[in-house]
Amino acid sequence: MPNNGDTSNYTSVFRLTPPNDPHRKVIKRNRQVVSCVPCRTRKLKCDRQQPCNSCVKRSDAASCRFFGTPSTATTHNSAAAAQAPSPVPRTEVQARLQRLEDLVNRLRDQPAPSDGVAGSTAAAPRKDDDTGGATAVGKPLVNNTGYRGTDVPLVASPGQMPMGGSLSKEGKNVRFVGELHYAAVLDAIHDLQGMVDAEAPDHLSTRSPPSQPQSTGEEPQDDIQRPRLPFHFQLYGPVAPLTTQEILDNLPPRAECDMILTLFFQPIYIVPMVIHGGQFQRTYEAFWRNPAAANPLWISALFSFLSTAVFQQASKAAGGEGLGSTGLKDPAAREKIEVLSSMSHRCLVSGGFVEGKPYSVEAALLFGMHLVLQKRDTDPICWHTIGTAVRLAQKLGYHRDPAHLNRNSAKAKISPFEGEMRRRTWYTLEHFDLVYSFLLGVPPIIHGDDVDTQLPSNLRDEDFDEDSRAIPPPRPASDCTPVLSYVYHNRQVQVLRRVVKQALAVVQPLYADVIRLDADLRDLHNDVPPSLAYRPIRESGFADVPDIIMRRILFEITHLKSVCVLHRRYLTFERENSIYERSREACRDASLRLLDVQAEFDEQSGEGGRLYEKRYMMTNMAFHDFLLAAMCLCLDLVVGGRDR
């Protein structure tokens, strides 16, 4: 009776040869590619027309191309190809693209760099670095009219670029990825790799399938585990009621609170603009005289300040242990930060901030800001709190200028002091709303068309108080007050919102509008107050405090990031069209300069550097911008190599 368990004689039929058998016979199909590249990439049925019906339905007729058929090559093309240099072998191109994609994925998946380390991918400073408004080739992007005359098409090009973002899947979670996010650039690199594979005949395809994790006998975990706060935050719903004694029990002694707050307010250039130092100190003294009469929302802000100050001091002592509060190795400091943050949250919720009570907007904003400083990885509670604060501010009319509200209100009047503080608060909200729009790749909550709040004045806190009958005239821009940087950045916000709106639009913008917006960006960059104008750290004056140097760096990062986002789409769109070469050059130049800034910060934030004690000011948001610059350069290298 034959042995039914022995199938060795039938392996050639059933192909049961082990995959690692060196004598395994691989059957390859050498057939002609008959589908267009997009249909082959998407595994769709192609009717082999030019353009095919599938590409027409997707409004992607410009990308409908066929490769590998004799009819696609004319005599002229053959002669030109004979004179051209020999192309890089397809297998080598595929291998390079695969290595690049693997590198990008490792950059994306690796944890955030530790303290003082801006990332190992920083480009070395270039000798020809130019911080002016021109591109690397020395040609201005625009003329005096704001766009490049007849070279700039006033209508959209016949080719259509992908607009509106896409969906990205991480395990079981699906999220929207807008054009602002570095993941969108990574997707573009991945799509190019797929197109190269689709263009190659089957017998030339050398790309190996993605490696699969070895089985461990356990169910795979699809959900990506991200660092979380060691305590749970719940913005809505009931919380345990807080008593005055419980608040005092969790507060440090009065003497220690005084010392911590002194350390917090001494670097005046990082104190939130929504806080008036004199008013806060007067309220603080009243709190200790009668704690039971204090507003729980103000107490929430007090705990936020204490938590932030303790974190800053612990970060200085931690050396290179990490920027996030969960990365501190000192258990006592970590526990104190957690307790203070938890109490800030409890006071915020128990004070009923969602009801729009007095000080609710400021308390919610300060709670979100103190979490941003303490965590390198973006937690939903941060942008959720900021978003809630924006909606509360709109509900309370912060988006309308107090002068306008006073004219239309017969009874409820806003004092000059309160009006100026509302302006400061509103533009701080606008800043964070836009920052999270860049960080998450989603549209901002604030649109700008329904806002008439004036910019805050360049004043010091001692220039006005609650008893002021009128706000004094602003100081000149040559007077570098702590508020001056906020005033200038608020001007940046107005232009950056237009960049975000254009980048996330579902309709392809006119190229003339892109160039005009680029001109506005560069005009604003050239109009920065002299004290805040960017210069290399080594060229900064000996009297320049680290806080001012960090402000300059952050302004430069914001500008360069905006240029990258504005022009990034043209890295892949109609590469053969020389009209868009200036946009590609602008994006390359801004990306390289961003990585130069990263390299310089990496050097100066190390032990002994000028920014060592201020390294915590470079939050996860700035490192996201460095990653975006690296993605743009990777994408340009991929597309450029493919063109060659």
Q: What is the pLDDT, as a whole number, of residue 304?
A: 92
Q: Give a yes or no: residue 630 inside a domain.
A: yes
Same domain, 156 and 242: no
Q: Report the candidate in 425, 443, 458 with the shortest Cα–Cα distance to residue 498.
A: 443
Q: What is the pLDDT, as a whole number, of residue 443?
A: 87
Interatomic CA distance for residues 632 and 635, integer angstroms: 5
Q: Give a yes or no: residue 139 inside a domain.
A: yes
Provide mean pLDDT across the span 342-359.
89
Same domain, 178 and 120: yes
- Which pTM was predicted? 0.65
What is the average pLDDT value for the chain, to the nearest integer?
A: 74
Q: What is the pLDDT, as a whole number, of residue 201?
A: 44
Interatomic CA distance for residues 620 and 375, integer angstroms: 8
Same domain, 197 and 242: no
Residue 168: both structure tokens together: 């990205």
Same domain, 493 and 620: yes
Q: Which of 207-221, 526-540, 609-623 has the lowest mean pLDDT?
A: 207-221
Q: Give a yes or no: residue 515 inside a domain.
A: yes
Q: Give a yes or no: residue 163 inside a domain.
A: yes
Q: Using the CB atoms, write b or e for 93-118: b if 16+ within 10 Å.
A: bbeebbebbeebeebeeeebbbbbbb
Same domain, 192 and 309: no
Q: What is the pLDDT, as a whole number, of residue 378?
A: 65
Give residue 101's Cα distance to chain centre.
21
Same domain, 635 and 507: yes
In DSSP notation, 486-540 reads HHHHHHHHHHHHHHHHHHT-SSPPPHHHHHHHHHHHHHHHHTS-GGG----GGGS
Interatomic CA distance for residues 488 and 486, integer angstroms: 5
With contact defined as beta carbons under 8 Å apart, do 330 and 393 qualify?
no
Task: Estimate the share of the chain in helix, then strand, then coil, as percent rounded to the nearest 5.
Answer: 55, 0, 45
Same domain, 182 and 322: no
Q: Give a yes or no: residue 17 inside a domain.
A: no
Beta-bridge partners for 168: 175
CA distances to 369, 408, 415, 482 from 461, rounded to whole Å, are 21, 28, 16, 9
Q: Report the candidate in 156, 158, 194, 162 with the shortest Cα–Cα distance to residue 58.
A: 162
Please, which residues have CB within 8 angstroms of residue 262's CB and are 6 or more apart in sequence?
A: none
Helix (H) or strand (E) holding 175: strand 173-177
Q: What is the pLDDT, as a whole number, of residue 364?
A: 92
User: Domain containing 268: what range?
Assistant: 230-353
Which range, 52-66, 159-173, 219-233, is most confident? 52-66
Residue 184: both structure tokens together: 């969108």
> Of 307, 337, 353, which marks where a domain is finished?
353
Q: What is the pLDDT, as a whole number, of residue 190?
A: 58
Phi, psi of 516 (to 5 degrees): -65, -40
Same domain, 136 and 264: no
| Statement: residue 180 has pLDDT above 60 | no
Q: What is the pLDDT, as a whole number, of residue 150?
A: 38
Interatomic CA distance for residues 609 and 611, integer angstroms: 5
Interatomic CA distance for residues 261 and 449, integer angstroms: 39
- What pLDDT digit, counting tens, does each position of 385-416 carry? 888 999 999 999 999 998 888 887 766 788 99
> Of 353, 369, 385, which marks where a domain is finished?
353
Q: pLDDT exceeding 90 applies to what percent of the chain?
A: 26
Q: What is the pLDDT, as a whole number, of residue 213?
A: 40
Number of folded domains that form the chain:
2
Same domain, 168 and 282: no
Same domain, 113 and 196: yes
Q: Give a yes or no: residue 113 inside a domain.
A: yes
Interatomic CA distance for residues 394 and 417, integer angstroms: 19
> Of 353, 382, 411, which marks where a domain is finished?
353
Provide mean pLDDT across the span 494-499.
90
Residue 217: both structure tokens together: 């006998």
Interatomic CA distance for residues 239 and 220, integer angstroms: 36
Q: Give a yes or no: residue 48 inside a domain.
A: no
Higher pLDDT, 332 or 94: 332
CA 589, 593, 594, 595 torsion-angle sign = positive
Same domain, 197 and 264: no
With contact defined as beta carbons under 8 Å apart, do 269 and 551 qualify?
yes
With contact defined as beta carbons under 8 Å apart, do 45 and 39 qualify?
yes
Q: Give a yes or no: residue 440 inside a domain.
A: no
Same domain, 493 and 556: yes
Provide mean pLDDT across the span 276-280.
93
Residue 52: both structure tokens together: 């095919």
463: confidence class by pLDDT, cuts 50, 70, 90? very high
How many residues belong to the chain? 644
